Chain A
């Protein structure tokens, strides 16, 4: 129907653009890949070097206290983590945990300030909303390709992909949380002569904390869900056995690795949720 229009070489442009970015910013990407990659494997090694018994006990104690001295989550943690160890997936678990931890931390460090900016400025909000939609709906495989171009393979592009996918909830919830602070409290802050920063840190952020924590919880869960996809670009962790089981059509090992991810997810989810409740 629209044959009179020649095909727009969009794909070529993006290709060229990616190459251009890779070449132009290699002075940034390369140090990130090396230094950050080293840091991440160091962290994973450190975690893996702690005897599993101690890790399991620590998690159980943390779960016990953070859920208000209830045994449920603590017992689940012990049983679940022992099962993961028993299946010979402990090192993978530690790698996955490192990946989730680091990418969630980065997501929060980037996401909260962006969310604050969005809440303060309609212009920033108007710019960010489509970007966030883009980040959340674009299939993850698509940005794995440039991620590899920028950062080669391993943990670092995994973190990069996870950042893109998992940061939006933190941004959105931070924005929402601050905008939802009641007018009267904002007026009270203003009427007593608060500066912008005082208003933000003494009133708005404390009031929005619950909502922001809900966003962070979502971010952590999304980061975890990126584990399998990240393993396609060589990120170590529980995604690998899932992927190899998929390639070899082995239902059993695939299920075991998948179950390990679920166990980790439940423990992290309940702990971060209760972190929110106990302080709010």
Chain B
């Protein structure tokens, strides 16, 4: 069961909510509604699900409604319509006491400008969530200390937020959110206020922490690179509507519409695409069935200078070159094993494209993409260029 289920969630800011909802039903756009009723549509009929342990990124430019959406998820903003199920409980309709309980036990939030209390020490800040639950001093100090150790700030517990750098302050924000061991972390542009280098460090650190903790993370950002870097899945928002939900590859490779396409145009694809996304179907011969003659024929048909060799289980054995195969035929050699070369350049299917560049530059033959020893595809220089250019014929599957 998904841990967060958002269904048909809307938020309209203004005084003519009913009328505006009616207009939404009629399929009117955000600016038309603003003109007619004076209301602003913050979030428009949004539905999505987040699985346990997933990093779900909501990405959009300013004004897209992403910050409103995350605040609807923990009801810092009252939803106009729709439901937010957290772990099977509908947050949108529950009473204040239940809401407090869910916020205390299941949801934690990390803020763009850190949201630290300047009059409290680092430890006291990290303790806040536990303190309001009425947990006794010793226990909460211990838990908060652990959380601070986790983000590498164990030595700073008696400092005040002002004494720390931006990156460190946000670690405190993260520790505060982790201290009460929530199931869901809501991160609202958590790294946007940091400078680019620190931001990257923090992203890495978050991913590392996530490996250990397996929390469910709902992450808001306006930075597509950040979204692609940390998201298991990404929802793209525009004018309060989710335009597309998908894995980073989905979004890059199959943009749902012009908006998404324009959005992803400038992305450095080499960081996101993996071997799997750019590989092509390999021409192979079977070492158990074929000899040099078949190899030569196949190469002739396809215009290749070398061909990969597999066995009956499609396990990669090596390759033969056209030259060797021709010589073998002349010398009446029947067995491929004698001319088989095994210095094969291989990559796993999830290898980022960026790391393949150098390999392919040095390699005289295409790179083999393997999955547990099985040959699943090959990468030639042309496919890399095609992927960088963003051609739509790039295949996701084998």
Residues of A within 8 A of B (CB): 184-185, 187-195, 198, 202-203, 206-207, 209
Contact = CB atoms under 8 A, between A and B. Distances in A.
A194 B132 contact: yes
B169 to A, nearest CB: 12
A198 B132 contact: yes
B128 A192 contact: yes
Given A192-B180, A193-B102, 5 more contacts: A184-B111, A192-B132, A193-B133, A202-B131, A207-B119
A256 to B, nearest CB: 44
DSSP class of A's interface residues: helix, strand, loop or mixed? Answer: helix
Contact of B115 (A185, A195, A209): A185
A84 to B, nearest CB: 38
Nearest to A188: B115
A196 B374 CA distance: 61
B377 interface: no
A195 B100 contact: yes
Interface string B122-148: 000000110111000000000000000
**What 7 A-B pairs are tightest by C-beta distance, nearest first?**
A193-B104, A188-B115, A193-B103, A191-B109, A192-B129, A184-B115, A193-B100
A188 B132 contact: no
Contacts of A195: 100, 132
A56 B273 CA distance: 79
B107 interface: yes
Interface string B82-118: 0000000000000000001111100111011101111
26 contacts: A184-B112, A184-B115, A185-B115, A187-B76, A187-B109, A188-B109, A188-B111, A188-B128, A189-B128, A190-B103, A191-B76, A191-B107, A191-B108, A192-B103, A192-B108, A192-B109, A192-B128, A192-B132, A193-B100, A193-B133, A194-B132, A195-B100, A195-B132, A202-B131, A203-B117, A209-B119
Contacts of B112: 184
Interface residues of B, number: 27
Contacts of B10: none
Nearest to A194: B132
A192 B112 CA distance: 16
A192 B104 contact: yes
A187 B128 CA distance: 13
Contacts, number: 60
Contacts of A203: 117
Contacts of B117: 185, 188, 202-203, 206-207
Nearest to B129: A192
Nearest to B186: A191
Contact of B111 (A187, A202, A207): A187
B286 interface: no
Contacts of A190: 76, 103
A44 B102 CA distance: 55
A187 B104 contact: no
Nearest to A203: B117
Contacts of B119: 206-207, 209
Contacts of A185: 115, 117
A8 B113 CA distance: 59
Contacts of A206: 117, 119
Q: Which of A198, A207, A209 has the most CB of B within 10 A?
A: A198
Q: Which of B100, B109, B111, B115 has the most CB of A within 10 A?
A: B115
Contacts of B129: 192-193
A242 to B, nearest CB: 42
A198 B104 CA distance: 13
B284 interface: no
A195 B176 CA distance: 18
B74 interface: yes
Given A184-B111, A206-B117, A206-B119, A191 B132 contact: no
A184 B189 CA distance: 12
A184 B101 contact: no
Contacts of A207: 117-119
A191 B100 contact: no
A193 B109 contact: no
A185 B116 CA distance: 7
Nearest to A185: B115
Contacts of A193: 100-104, 129, 132-133
A210 B113 CA distance: 22
B70 to A, nearest CB: 10
Contacts of A192: 103-104, 108-109, 128-129, 132, 176, 180
B96 to A, nearest CB: 9
A180 to B, nearest CB: 14
